[in-house]
Amino acid sequence: MRALVAEATKLTRNREGVEVTSTAQVITEPDLDCPAESLLTLPSGRITKALSVANHTAPGLPVPQSTEVMCE
């Protein structure tokens, strides 16, 4: 699967709403089936866990739909 991966530290909220530190953000195709707690292997080879998953739509805007996964 193709994805945009940014390995950068950011504050985010996990699925329980608790503020946590994310070390990677993955943006990929819409409707990705990646529940929180799923394991992902990043292009660097690092294995990480999904903290939160958000589906983004932009009706009427010139940007694509996508799924954003914030990782440990």
pLDDT tens across 19-69, in order?
Answer: 999 999 999 998 889 998 999 999 999 999 999 999 988 888 888 899 999
With cut-offs at 50, 70 and 90, classify the pLDDT of residue 14: confident
Amino acid at 31: D
Nearby residues of 69 by Cβ (< 8 Å), 6 or more positions away? 25, 26, 27, 28, 32, 34, 40, 50, 52, 53
Strand partners, 22: 10
pTM: 0.86
Say if strands 10-13 and 19-22 run parallel, antiparallel, or are unpaired: antiparallel
User: CA 1, CA 3: separation in Å to the nearest integer?
Assistant: 6
